[in-house]
Amino acid sequence: MKRWLALPLALLLSSPALAEIRGEEVRYSADGVNLHGYIAWDDSVSGPRPGVIVVHEWWGHNDYVRDRARQLAALGYTALAVDMFGDGRTADHPDNAGAFAREVAQNADIRRSRFNAAMDVLNAHPTVKNDQLAALGYCFGGSVVLNMAREGAPLAGVVAYHAGLASPVAAQAGVTQSRVRVFNGAADPMVPPEQVAAFEAEMRASGVDFAVVNYDGVLHGFTNPGADAFAERFGLPLGFDEAADSDSWAQTQSFLQELFAQ
């Protein structure tokens, strides 16, 4: 698969610990659709390291998902913030966001093709240990990484934050190999308790190594500092929660360390 790289972005972050973080825009494609990603890594770390795919919310590939990629790079991983909508499209209204998300969510071939193309890009990066990959996903992106895991994508583990857990795809013993972690807001009306219970039953039936963390009183979008602004602007049941965001990120770090401890 061909890969196009733009010029490196001039990223010199304020924290000394992040001073060696580099970032590049990447151009790749799937089934004739141009995709706009962003890859970040710590240039001061020698040798190949695990790679982490980061899948955006239904707002599309924006600064938030790039920030997450840089945070992962600061932890010693190479992270690729992907584009699941094509042409780097982002939404500025829930109507557009929903339309973009449905285009992918309702077509497994599109979702699979675009995600697999991203895995190829990440595996091809010179800083990445081939086939040592994990994936994180937020909201829409959380559903994407869960479905890729359900289908047996070669991912050591996946983490989903405030993600829809219902799916026409079911995890299966012998197919689903990824370890799974889910962080959910217990007050999220988009992911009701019965959906969480059904997901847990599905995971147990398939023998998947999984854990679900529910945060009391926490709404959808709790990891995104911009959630409150979206909620006010569009009347959506969203809300950033600093404690839940901090705890889920700490647990994610521990989980990634466990996945790749060798």
pLDDT in tens, 169-185: 999 999 999 999 999 99
pLDDT at 200 over 70: yes
Residue with tokens 């994508």: 153
Say yes or no to pLDDT of 11 above 50.
Answer: no
pLDDT at 195 over 50: yes
Q: Give residues with Cβ within 8 angstroms of 225, minimum separation 6.
A: 240
pLDDT at position 10, please? 34
Q: Can you give the pTM of this predicted structure?
A: 0.92
Q: What's the rounded Cα separation, in Å, for the pair 159 and 188?
A: 18
Q: What is the predicted pLDDT for the residue at 39?
A: 98
pLDDT at position 130: 84
Q: Are 163 and 141 in contact (CB under 8 A)?
A: yes
Report yes or no: 140 and 111 within 8 Å, Cβ to Cβ: no
- Predicted local confidence at residue 70, as pLDDT: 97
Arithmetic mean of pLDDT, 3-31 = 61
pLDDT at 131: 82
In the chain, the percentage of residues whose pLDDT exceeds 70 is 92
The pLDDT of 233-256, averaged and rounded, is 98
Average pLDDT over residues 61-70: 98
**Fold observed for domain 4-259:** Rossmann fold (3.40.50)
Report long-range pairs for 70-76 (Cβ below 8 Å, ≥24 apart).
70/11, 70/13, 70/18, 70/21, 70/23, 70/40, 71/249, 72/40, 72/136, 73/21, 73/22, 73/23, 73/40, 73/41, 73/42, 74/17, 74/18, 74/21, 74/42, 75/253, 75/256, 76/42, 76/45, 76/49
Q: Which residue has the higher pLDDT, 129 or 15?
A: 129
pLDDT in tens, 101-151: 999 999 999 999 999 999 999 999 999 998 899 999 999 999 999 999 999
- List the chain domain ranges: 4-259
Strands (DSSP E) along the chain, which ranges? 4-9, 21-30, 33-42, 49-55, 78-81, 128-138, 157-161, 179-185, 210-215
Mean pLDDT of the chain: 92
With a cut of 70, say whether residue 26 has pLDDT above it. yes
Q: What is the pLDDT of residue 18?
A: 44
pLDDT-above-90 percentage for the chain: 90
More confident: 1 or 245 = 245
In this prediction, residue 67 has a pLDDT band, given cuts at 50, 70 and 90, of very high
| Mean of pLDDT values over 218-242 | 97
